[in-house]
Amino acid sequence: MKDATLALHFGYEKDKQKTMQVPIYMTTAYEYEDTDHAARLFDLQEEGNIYTRIGNPTTRVFEKRISALERGIDALATASGMAAIFYSIANLVQSGDNVIISDKLYGGSITLNTQTLKQFGISAKYFNVHTPEKLDELIDEKTKLILIESVANPALTVPDFGKITEIAKKHGVIVICDNTIATPYGIKPVELGVDIVVHSASKYIVGNGSAIAGCIIEAPFAKDKLKTDRYSQFNEPDESYHGLVYNEKFDNPFISRARLALLRDYGAVISPFNSWLLLQGLEHLHLRIKEHSKNALKIAEFLSSHPKINKVNYPLLKSDPNYPYAEKYLKYAGGIVSFEVSDYETAKNIVKKLKIFSLVTNIGDSKSLATHPASTTHQQLSHEELEAAGVPEGLIRLSIGLEDVEDLINDLKEAIEKTN
Ligand SMILES: *Cc1c(COP(=O)(O)O)cnc(C)c1O
């Protein structure tokens, strides 16, 4: 089946009630047939519902659908995008290890990797996704992952996927790609050799800014790397499950361990109601992403032609330095456009004058949003870190919605021209 069909039908088997909508199973727990049945479930001898922190039937349908769309072997939904990113990393590292991250990432991912993970004895090294040859020097025996974003938020950088996954494969290091902005319709990282895909489902997947959620998808070939000595936690007995060895027991060892060990112990589980909202979003994601991307390109072209704008970033704009990579790898680049004006104050004032765009630190909503990262999402970063992350102080980030694009262009035009 093709994607649009999978997004509407995959993974749902109707019960006696024959409900067209996937039911929302708002339940904490599930009844066992008897104590033997319970024991078999707890010992993972048999699959079934135990407790919603580990799994839920509504959530399971979403997991199956997003996994199918990303060409994964399995998926795990989480309470937020950050939980998905943290669990993906925590699944691979142990104290003393290091991670290699793109120098153009979502602000939350930068602070997680460079600050918060320090307390677990994990260090982070940066690399530039357009000069991945450097990875050969950066990777050592303690390196457990390379983290990239298919379209970076907010820098909008598109990585050189081919070279990155080739070098990672040579060293046997897992590549994690955050695919929040491009969505599986813009790019399928698994088809390019990425082992683990993560999403903030709070953005395009839910599609209208109604829920915080995340997910992790495992590629069928991730196991090839997990089988090596680099990832001993997948090859050695897990005492918390009577000596279970994830690689021996499962074809999907990454998701199994993330669910059975990490979700069990860290507990950032998604609400079944939010899973249902994600299912609603997936039904028309293919239509929305096409429209968001079309509007975004028109707006990027308008901004490029405006004399007051110093620079416009949109990967599928021919003048963008990411264009060669975007053209090669992306079908859609999503609805995020950013542009630079002279300074911090001008940027703040333009955002203030916008009428249709709302000042919101979110992206992927059906309504258009604008933000000034230097005073909001990236406030914790120093001037140098802002420059390094591709977020200069005069940068405005737009999340182009589904309104009529002419209205959006007029709104921007007025705000820019009324600001000195
Ligand atoms: C928003 C976002 C996140 C964090 O997701 P939450 O759902 O807000 O936790 C991670 N990565 C990217 C690219 C994002 O845009």
Q: Does the pLDDT of residue 43 top 90, yes or no?
A: no
154 lines ligand 1 (CB under 6 A): no
**Nearest residue to 74 (alpha-carbon basis) of 59, 90, 62, 63:** 63
Q: Which residues contact 54 (CB under 8 A, 6 or more apart)?
A: 259, 260, 263, 264
pTM (two decimals): 0.97
Res 167: pLDDT: 98
How far apart are the CA of 48 and the centre of ligand 1, in A?
31
pLDDT band for position 420 (cuts 50, 70, 90): confident
* Nearest atom in ligand 1 to 202's CA: 7
Q: Does the pLDDT of residue 381 top 90, yes or no?
A: no
**Nearest residue to 63 (alpha-carbon basis) of 278, 287, 288, 284:** 278
* Nearest atom in ligand 1 to 364's CA: 15
d(CA 212, CA 90): 20
365 lines ligand 1 (CB under 6 A): no
230 lines ligand 1 (CB under 6 A): no
371 lines ligand 1 (CB under 6 A): no
How far apart are the CA of 40 and the centre of ligand 1, in A?
37
Res 161: pLDDT: 98
- Identify the DSSP state of 418: T
204 lines ligand 1 (CB under 6 A): no
Compute the average pLDDT of residues 256-273. Answer: 97
Q: Does the pLDDT of residue 314 top 80, yes or no?
A: yes
81 lines ligand 1 (CB under 6 A): yes
Protein residue closest via CA to atom 7 of ligand 1: 81
Q: pLDDT of 97-144, one tens digit each?
A: 999 999 999 989 999 999 999 999 999 999 999 999 999 999 999 999
* Structural domains of the chain in order of their starting residue, each with its CATH number: 3-280 (3.40.640.10), 286-417 (3.90.1150.10)
How far apart are the CA of 18 and the centre of ligand 1, in A?
35
- Which residue among 88, 200, 278, 365 has the greatest number of ligand 1 atoms within 8 angstroms of its CB, and so is best to mutate? 200
Q: pLDDT of 206-248, one tens digit each?
A: 999 999 999 999 999 999 999 999 999 999 999 999 899 999 9
Mean of the per-residue pLDDT values of the chain = 96
| Contact indicator for 177, 152 with CB cutoff of 8 Å | no
Category of 267 on φ-ψ map: left (φ > 0), alpha (ψ -120 to 50) or beta: left
Res 387: pLDDT: 80
How far apart are the CA of 200 and the centre of ligand 1, in A?
4
As given in the structure block, the two tokens for residue 313 are 């970033």
**Nearest residue to 205 (alpha-carbon basis) of 220, 185, 177:** 185
How far apart are the CA of 362 and the centre of ligand 1, in A?
9
d(CA 377, CA 198): 20
pLDDT band for position 388 (cuts 50, 70, 90): confident
As given in the structure block, the two tokens for residue 267 are 């507990």
Res 218: pLDDT: 99
Among 17-21, 136-140, 375-379, the range scoring the smallest mean pLDDT is 375-379
Res 390: pLDDT: 73
d(CA 372, CA 395): 6
| Contact indicator for 272, 25 with CB cutoff of 8 Å | yes
pLDDT band for position 384 (cuts 50, 70, 90): confident
Q: Does the pLDDT of residue 175 top 80, yes or no?
A: yes
Res 38: pLDDT: 93
The rounded percent of the chain whose pLDDT value lies above 70 is 100
Task: For residue 232, give Cα distances in angstroms to 93, 123, 174, 247, 318.
Answer: 10, 19, 13, 10, 45
Protein residue closest via CA to atom 8 of ligand 1: 81
How far apart are the CA of 14 and the centre of ligand 1, in A?
32
Res 29: pLDDT: 97
Protein residue closest via CA to atom 5 of ligand 1: 81
Q: Which residues contact 71 (CB under 8 A, 6 or more apart)?
A: 188, 190, 191, 219
How far apart are the CA of 365 and the centre of ligand 1, in A?
13
pLDDT band for position 375 (cuts 50, 70, 90): confident
Q: Does the pLDDT of residue 293 top 90, yes or no?
A: yes
How far apart are the CA of 81 and the centre of ligand 1, in A?
5
Q: Does the pLDDT of residue 277 top 90, yes or no?
A: yes
178 lines ligand 1 (CB under 6 A): yes
Protein residue closest via CA to atom 4 of ligand 1: 81
**Nearest residue to 64 (alpha-carbon basis) of 278, 361, 234, 253:** 278
Among 199-208, 353-362, 386-395, the range scoring the smallest mean pLDDT is 386-395
80 lines ligand 1 (CB under 6 A): yes
Res 97: pLDDT: 98
